[in-house]
Structure 1
Amino acid sequence: MERSGSWLRAMVVLTCLVAASGARELKVRSRAHKAIYNHTLATILVEYASAVYMSDLTELFSWTCPRCDGKTKGFEVIELIVDVQHCLQAYVGVAKDLNAMVIAFRGTQEHSIQNWVEDLYWKQLDINYPGMPGAMVHHGFYFAYHNTTIRPGILDAVTRAKDLYGDINVMVTGHSMGGAMASFCGLDLVVNHEARNVQVLTFGQPRIGNAVFASCYSDHVPNTIRITNGHDIVPHLPPYYSRFPQKTYHHFPREVWLYNIGFGSLVYQVEKVCDSSGEDPSCSR
């Protein structure tokens, strides 16, 4: 579903370019809350989302892998969760400099048949999400988080992290399919486990639910932002059908869209904040 390595490296470069040119915080309006896009935080979390792709589990757990440095230096891994059967991977740990727990999910592995089956199981929105009347979600992504060993592993690690560090903030992230799983995880922690101060920030995440789900999600986890790249096809999937908006997929109301505008030999990166409750033709489409 994605070119995980090249896309994520490009995202790291793009976010760092903006940071170097003067990062700023953009306020995003919602009906009841004000979420804040913090670009400095985004450049940190994209490194966590990148590190979870590492295949050397020993280096990943000890946080000595080639990607386990830079803005994430000193991170303490509490648990590394791997579901071999479904080719899924995630970790939970504590970033002391952020005073927060970080949960990161790996996206699609290019040669994983299991991941491609999960990605493509989107023909119908055939799962009614509990507690959200009329909300329906992507079967494959829902299954990947809720019906594998990933969820119990995450919840157990979250409990242990809280026992060690108290009720600290929780930041959930992931790239592509990992972003979809991160979204379900953030909602799960808030709704089913009464977690507070949960923030979900994803990169190149596909759409995972209908308009009702997207709207209700923001009511439960208001501090949620989907960061997308203007040239990445994944955030546009599953496809949006304007003739049947009630039966199709929608992005989250809060989205930051990164794209380049060239002026001769100069290239500027633009951040556009979308705060619509459905599909904004000038944004993710």
Structure 2
Amino acid sequence: MERRRLLACVIVICLISLCVARELNVKSKYALPAIYNHTLATILVEYSSAVYMSDLTELFTWTCERCNGLTKGFEMIELIVDVQACLQAFVGVAKDLDAIVIAFRGTQESSIQNWIEDLYWKQLDCNYPGTSDAMVHHGFYSAYHNTTVRPGILSAVKSARELYGDLQIMVTGHSMGGAMAAFCGLDLRVNFGVHNVQVMTFGQPRIGNAAFATYYSKLVPFTTRVTNEHDMVPHLPPYFYLFPGKTYHHFPREVWLHNLGFGTLVYQIETVCDSSGEDPTCSRSVSGNSIADHLTYYGVEMGCDAEVACKMVMHPALAAYSKTDEAGNFVLSRDGAISVLRINRESDAQSTTS
């Protein structure tokens, strides 16, 4: 009898937690003031997954296997590929969200183990411009600011706004892509005066110290970091609680996904954490020891669809149209590319039937 009462209490707690943590109403527009919206998270995680795809033709035309479901109807503006740094991102318009969506690819699965090992030893080594005492991880900062990704993103945002007006901007990414998404959101706010920017990341590592976290949270308050169970990446680089001013420090707000229950009666709880960025009752309350938890969010597969790092597949028509620099980095823009691709496909079809 006592066990039944205990189980009943657990079920009630789970149901209450689910009701508190989730925004269950599906809306056509997502207003910025919401701290966390479950439905929006399940949409943005699909964009963070899709940006990993290696078939650039299918990704650019939004026909890839991860380009369905809640992201159906997305209109690509630009696809940016930095071959040298093995980076990939896209900008487009999601009409159901009434927003410009920017997504950054994270670390490819083939190199994630080495990348995680490197993060154990990384030190803060870059003074963030415009604020005293704020320091950031040089590698993450450079991945966004010192590659061809940033100019491609900014150009695409400008084009999207010229076409669709002053839409809100939603920036997302998984793993290292989440780190780049955070720097992008801050860049848009500080350097380009974009006020209606929202950032949501998945499995994001720490990217700066406490001074940077404070600076970031004031300027980009509509930010959510979703962490899953024992995902090890949000625990990196390490947080040393004895040196709070000198160590890496997450910015708020974290939403921690974790399971509660017994046997087959298990519920996923979405805990909205406190405003410190380092809530000891959230992901910091468990050990970060799982790569598997890093590679799945909301049941969506994260990571590359190809085993070979930086593998790319692209139709010759798109390759011929893309804007490429001397280093081989390139941008695929919507203007003209789809029509060129359609003409070539029609030509291929006619050659086959004749």
TM-score, normalised to structure 2's length? Answer: 0.69
TM-fit CA distance, 1:112: 4.7
Structure 2 residue 96 is the aligned partner of structure 1 residue 92: no
Tell me which amino acid in the other structure corresponds to 2:85: H
CA distance in 2, matches of 1:230, 1:205: 13
Tell me which amino acid in the other structure corresponds to 1:100: A
Task: Give the 5 Å matches for 1:1-285.
Answer: 24-25=22-23, 35-112=34-111, 116=115, 120=119, 123-285=122-284
Residue deviations 1:15-65 (CA, integer Å, cap 9, x gap): xxx9xx878239xxxxxx965201000000000000000000000000000
Residue deviations 1:152-192 (CA, integer Å, cap 9, x gap): 11001111111101110100000010000000000000000
- Mapped contact 1:227–1:258 kept (Cα < 8 A): yes
CA distance in 1, matches of 2:137, 2:88: 19
Larger RCO, structures 1/2 (Cα 8 Å, 6+ apart): 2
Residue deviations 1:85-137 (CA, integer Å, cap 9, x gap): 00000000000111100000000013359x93996496221111112211110
Q: 1:63 to 1:37 in 2, by over 3 A?
A: same
Q: 1:118 to 1:74 in 2, by over 3 A?
A: farther
Tell me which amino acid in the other structure corresponds to 2:39: T
**Aligned counterpart, 1:9:** none
Q: Secondary structure, in 3 states, of the residue corresponding to 2:110?
A: coil
CA distance in 2, matches of 1:34, 1:166: 21
Q: Secondary structure, in 3 states, of the residue corresponding to 2:213?
A: helix
Q: Secondary structure, in 3 states, of the residue corresponding to 1:190?
A: helix
CA distance in 2, matches of 1:223, 1:187: 11
Q: Secondary structure, in 3 states, of the residue corresponding to 1:187?
A: helix
- Mapped contact 1:35–1:224 kept (Cα < 8 A): no
Extract structure 1 runs of 4+ deviating beyond 3 A: 115-122
Q: 1:118 to 1:190 in 2, by over 3 A?
A: farther
CA distance in 2, matches of 1:250, 1:172: 21
- Mapped contact 1:78–1:92 kept (Cα < 8 A): yes
Residue deviations 1:220-240 (CA, integer Å, cap 9, x gap): 011001000122111111111
Q: 1:236 to 1:149 in 2, by over 3 A?
A: same
Q: Secondary structure, in 3 states, of the residue corresponding to 1:248?
A: coil
CA distance in 1, matches of 2:275, 2:163: 39
TM-fit CA distance, 1:215: 1.2
CA distance in 1, matches of 2:121, 2:88: 21
Q: 1:121 to 1:93 in 2, by over 3 A?
A: farther
Tell me which amino acid in the other structure corresponds to 2:204: Q
- Mapped contact 1:117–1:140 kept (Cα < 8 A): no
TM-score, normalised to structure 1's length? Answer: 0.86
CA distance in 2, matches of 1:270, 1:181: 27
CA distance in 2, matches of 1:153, 1:117: 28
Q: Secondary structure, in 3 states, of the residue corresponding to 1:44?
A: helix
Aligned length: 259
CA distance in 1, matches of 2:277, 2:93: 34
Q: 1:224 to 1:124 in 2, by over 3 A?
A: same
Tell me which amino acid in the other structure corresponds to 2:280: P
- Mapped contact 1:118–1:141 kept (Cα < 8 A): no
CA distance in 1, matches of 2:76, 2:146: 24
- Mapped contact 1:44–1:72 kept (Cα < 8 A): yes
CA distance in 2, matches of 1:217, 1:58: 36
CA distance in 2, matches of 1:60, 1:67: 9
CA distance in 2, matches of 1:278, 1:98: 27
- Mapped contact 1:119–1:177 kept (Cα < 8 A): no
Tell me which amino acid in the other structure corresponds to 1:252: F
Tell me which amino acid in the other structure corresponds to 2:249: H
Q: Unaligned stretches of 5+ in structure 2?
A: 1-14, 25-31, 285-354
Tell me which amino acid in the other structure corresponds to 1:51: A
Q: Secondary structure, in 3 states, of the residue corresponding to 2:101?
A: strand
- Mapped contact 1:120–1:140 kept (Cα < 8 A): no
Q: Unaligned stretches of 5+ in structure 1?
A: 1-17, 27-32
Q: 1:278 to 1:117 in 2, by over 3 A?
A: closer
- Mapped contact 1:171–1:201 kept (Cα < 8 A): yes
